[in-house]
Amino acid sequence: MIWASLGYTYNPDHFSDVEALNTIVRFTAGNFRLIDRLFSQIICIIKFNNLRAINKDVVEAARKCLLNG
């Protein structure tokens, strides 16, 4: 899972992790090409902003980047 490749741990007991994953699933609808593009944007946003977690806000920002540019 993307969390592990970035050095994070996905915890199904944490609301923010579940919310982020649900947002990813809802937006991509299983489209692997879109999943790959979205995760590329998520990685860029996390590195650029020096964030420590993947959450719904990061996923939404990545989604908007895909739609705008």
Q: Is the pLDDT of residue 67 over 80?
A: no
- pLDDT at residue 69 is higher than 80: no
pLDDT number for residue 44: 93
pLDDT one-digit tens code per residue, 1-53: 667 877 788 888 999 999 999 999 999 998 999 998 998 999 999 999 998 88
Predicted confidence at residue 5, as pLDDT, reads 73
The tokens of 53 are what?
């977690």
Q: Count CB-CB contacts under 10 A for residue 17.
A: 19
pLDDT of residue 68: 63
The domain ranges of the chain are: 2-68
pLDDT of residue 30: 86
